Structure 1
Amino acid sequence: MTRPTRVVVVGDVITDVVAVLSGPLAAGTDTAAEITLGGGGQAANTAAWVAAQGVAVTLVGAVGGDDAGRDRVAELTRAGVDCAVERVPGVPTGTVIVLAADGERTMVTSRGANLRLSAEHVEKAVAAAPDAGHLHLSAYTLLDASSRDAGLRALAAARERGLTTSVDAASAAPLRREGAQTFLGWVRDVDLLLVNADEATVLAGGLDPAAQGRVLSATARRVVVKRGAAGAVWVEGRTATVSVVAARRVAVVDVTGAGDAFAAGLLTAWLGGATPTAALDRATELGALAVSSVGARPPA
């Protein structure tokens, strides 16, 4: 297996406030929790995990002109990520409050400066990475009208330059709001589409994962359905053989960023020439590592 060329990741940069609850959330009173503050955002997390695999990666995004924005860029740079991140004066950096308990998480989100990511900035950033071979887009960029042009331009610029492309479907609720056909029209002909079980149901209906993958393969050349503790399914072509890999069995501490780690493992292995089964195996390995510690980024 060879080391892939540079990966360009486009999407959100966020400050995560993660509260790992000691028990069920007690409405109207106190609930004890372990609380940490650090970097988050689907695209930023994925970029950090890609860098941790020794692969060159550029993150394209936007932060505010505040201390949080400065800190988010600095920590990504220390992690080995090349940051093509524009700073937007007078706008706060995005923030997410994550409530984690019983292997699940609930997120309260303010996307902040991420909504100001511009198509022009994306165009310049992609052009400034001539050694890139792949572009990965977080669909959060597509799922908000304010940043949609930037997401669409990212995919178009990648195709114009001959890069392969992938999209992480991001979140079931905004997908449901926009509608399956609308979203699938935006991502038509991408080389790889990643969806979790809820997202797959929104986009392809209540079928089994392999059948969902086959439905979605009418839009994307390859589809990966992430099933959490049940593993993952890779479908390539509507009549192709389906690859299935079981999840790793680990003690779950915090699931924040697990899908982003999974995406990084999948991309770096696949782009390096791994088979679908080997790529899924690497993806589930990194996903298991992610859920074993608090926070969305690779452990120090």
Structure 2
Amino acid sequence: MTRDGAIFIGDVALDEYFAVDEWPALGDKVWAEPRDAELGGMIANAASVHAALGGSTRFLTTMNDGQLSRRLLTELNEQGIDTGLCLVDDALADSRCLIFLAGEQHVVITPRIGDQRFELDDASFAVLGAARSIYSSIGDLRRLRFGSLSPAEIVRGIRAAGARVVLDLDVADLEPGDRELIGATEICFVNRIGFDRLAAGDAPGAVVAALLAGGMTQLIVTLDADGCIVHNSDGQTAVGGIAATVVDVTGAGDTFCSAFLFAFDRSGDPTIAARFANGAGARATESLGARSGVGTVDDVLDYLRAAGQDTAALAAALLPGVR
């Protein structure tokens, strides 16, 4: 059976930007300078990166059928992303995200849009199970519905059908039941803040060992400019970061995770994938907008070469005809 690309399950939104001199404390008042709005959304950002790199990409969300929703889906289609799996629920509000830029960091505020659910039927569940990879966030995996199954049971069912389930855990904003859901996934990305939350005071090595023993095959802890650490059955591998001139970190994590998935699918080598993802993520920080990480494989390799990196092994693994 030839598996068909990656399906990204989650949000697409209009990102509304504001710049502040510094993030205020509670009770403070500050001026915010409006910036141009950009099309964003954590999972849609990742899907856009994957499609631009050359990966077969589909997208599933539930949203209203209003003007903004149609605009967002049209933009995804124009990037080569198939939105045929998307669902409609007119009880939901428009999908927007407020992003405040402060120095080299940002604060993201996401208004709730209502009781968003991803209702699967037999046909759509079969489509997910036939994909090569399913990519989502913890909040979006919680929204999966299929008959009487829990989200964790749905994820295990998708994996049992042969698809890889990939989780961007990000800062690990956990709710009851999430640990079972996390443990059901195959590849998990989490940043250093999220890993500390996930560990909840337990020894980091014990946390990693438990996840790998439970069926996870790759746990990647991202470290911002310091790169990442890849944990798998071979042990742990630290991959150094790339120095960047940071303009906006919005979407850099989404870019890293999606670029890793693309490169891992192409190469089967987690170290190759991590090196490529580090370059893609760093490149994404040097422009404004959550989609600044969108680019081709050559774009990322050129960026890495300019940063003094040897890209011969990456090119051989990721570019057709290069050996």
TM range (shorter): 0.7 to 0.9
What does residue range 252-267 of structure 1 map to in structure 2 within 5 Å? 252-267=246-261
State the TM-score, normalizing by the size of structure 2: 0.79
RMSD across aligned C-alpha pairs, in angstroms? 2.6
Match of 1:139 in 2: 138
Match of 1:224 in 2: 220
Match of 1:286 in 2: 280
**Measured at CA, do residues 91 and 189 of structure 1 come closer, stay the same or move farther in structure 2, by a change above 3 Å?**
closer
**Measured at CA, do residues 76 and 165 of structure 1 come closer, stay the same or move farther in structure 2, by a change above 3 Å?**
same
Higher relative contact order (CA 8 A, sep 6+): 1
The AA in structure 1 aligned to 2:105 is: E
**Measured at CA, do residues 185 and 57 of structure 1 come closer, stay the same or move farther in structure 2, by a change above 3 Å?**
same
Q: Determine helix, strand or coil for the equivalent of 2:70.
A: helix
The AA in structure 2 aligned to 1:247 is: G
The AA in structure 2 aligned to 1:13 is: V
Match of 2:111 in 1: 110
Structure 1: give runs of 5+ residues left out of the alignment: none
Q: 1:183 aligned to 2:169? A: no
Q: Which among 179, 182, 198 is matched to residue 193 of structure 2?
A: 198
Structure in which a larger fraction of residues adopt strand: 1
**Measured at CA, do residues 64 and 170 of structure 1 come closer, stay the same or move farther in structure 2, by a change above 3 Å?**
farther
Cα deviation, 1:82-131, whole Å, max 9, x if unaligned, reads 11222222422221101122221111111416x4223326x644534686
Match of 1:275 in 2: 269
Match of 1:30 in 2: 31
Structure 2: give runs of 5+ residues left out of the alignment: 296-323
Cα deviation, 1:141-182, whole Å, max 9, x if unaligned, reads 145xxx25475465245224211121111333x31xx25xx3
Match of 2:237 in 1: 243
Q: Determine helix, strand or coil for the equivalent of 1:265.
A: helix
Using the alignment, how far apart are the partners of 1:16 and 1:88 within structure 2?
A: 21
Q: After TM superposition, give the deviation of residue 294 of structure 1 in Å.
A: 1.1
**Measured at CA, do residues 272 and 207 of structure 1 come closer, stay the same or move farther in structure 2, by a change above 3 Å?**
farther
The AA in structure 2 aligned to 1:261 is: T
Q: After TM superposition, give the deviation of residue 189 of structure 1 in Å.
A: 3.8
The AA in structure 2 aligned to 1:19 is: F
Using the alignment, how far apart are the partners of 1:299 and 1:264 within structure 2?
A: 10
Cα deviation, 1:15-64, whole Å, max 9, x if unaligned, reads 2112243x224643423x35121222221111111001111011111222
Cα deviation, 1:253-282, whole Å, max 9, x if unaligned, reads 111111110011100111112422111011
Match of 1:47 in 2: 47
Match of 2:58 in 1: 58
